[in-house]
Amino acid sequence: MANRFGQAYGFTALTAILSGEAETGATHDAALRRELARLNTGESPFADLPTTHLARWVILPEAPFESIPAKVDHFQSKYLLFTSNFDGGADADDVALGRYLESMRVSIPDVLARVYSHCVGFPGVRDAGAFAAYFKSAQVKTTFLFGAYANATVDLVLRALVAQRRVGDFIVEHQERRSSPAELQAAFGALRASLTASPTPRPGRFL
């Protein structure tokens, strides 16, 4: 099903980059490259959107040439490609996408303003309706979406990764201790209780 893989939703948007120079004096695509490079040096801004499995921005300067017998084709402008795989749940596609776009607008407005100020027609982040309409109009149908976790939310994946690491540590620790069956049972019960009580780790952390 287009845009879907289990409960996960794949969103793809293609927006034209402005021609000419930005306020800094550099061309808009050069300024955008610098902004994306800066974002790549620290924690991903999408860590603030806890339903995001992955997200990526890519600048497309030109159409690829697949060699003869294909014809050479050219873009009329450079484009910014945005892709995201997020928890869509059981909601209708339009509802799931609308909710995600609003979470982007509310959670990372400054990042979006800096990135998309270099794109044609960006309405800014103040008007929720205009913001959603902009991205929906730029959407390209994701016809072949593959996700590593079809029916697992980001929350479940993060908790599973923590459990995997801690169970591995538990096995190594008690092999070295040569724990008795009673000690092993008690320790495993404590581990289970700790995993249940522990909060979900923040996305983007090394687990």
pLDDT at 9: 92
Let me know if residue 185 belongs to a domain.
Answer: yes
| Torsion from C-alpha of 87, 81, 41, 9, nearest 10 degrees | 10
Other beta carbons less than 10 A from residue 127's beta carbon: 12
pTM confidence score: 0.81
> Using an 8 Å Cβ cutoff, are 6 and 77 in contact?
no
Summarize the confidence of residues 34-49 as an average pLDDT.
89
Structure token digits, residue 114: 């800096």
pLDDT at 76: 82
Q: End-to-end distance of the chain based on CA atoms, in angstroms? A: 32
Give yes or no: residues 77 and 123 share one domain.
yes
Give yes or no: residues 132 and 162 share one domain.
no
Give yes or no: residues 9 and 62 share one domain.
yes
The lowest-confidence range among 19-23, 39-43, 66-70, 121-125 is: 66-70
Angle between the N-to-C axes of helices 28-39 and 109-116, in degrees from 0 to 180, rounded to the nearest 10 = 150
Let me know if residue 149 belongs to a domain.
Answer: no
Let me know if residue 176 belongs to a domain.
Answer: yes
| Separation of alpha carbons 131 and 52, rounded Å | 19
Which has the closest alpha carbon to 102: 132, 122, 123? 132
Summarize the confidence of residues 153-166 as an average pLDDT.
89
Whether residue 64 has pLDDT greater than 70: yes
pLDDT digits (tens, 9 = 90+) for 82-130: 999 999 888 888 999 999 999 999 999 999 999 999 999 999 999 999 9
Range of 75's domain? 4-137
pLDDT at 95: 93
Which residues on adjacent β-strands are paired with residue 82? 13, 57
pLDDT at 206: 56
| Separation of alpha carbons 197 and 201, rounded Å | 12
Mapping DSSP to helix (H, G, I), strand (E, B) and coil, where does residue 69 land? coil
Give yes or no: residues 14 and 62 share one domain.
yes
The lowest-confidence range among 17-21, 56-60, 200-204 is: 200-204
Q: In the structure, what pLDDT confidence band is assigned to residue 1 with cuts at 50, 70 and 90?
A: low
Q: In the structure, what pLDDT confidence band is assigned to residue 25 with cuts at 50, 70 and 90?
A: confident
Give yes or no: residues 131 and 29 share one domain.
yes
Burial of 55 (0-12, 13-18, 19+ CB in 10 A): middle
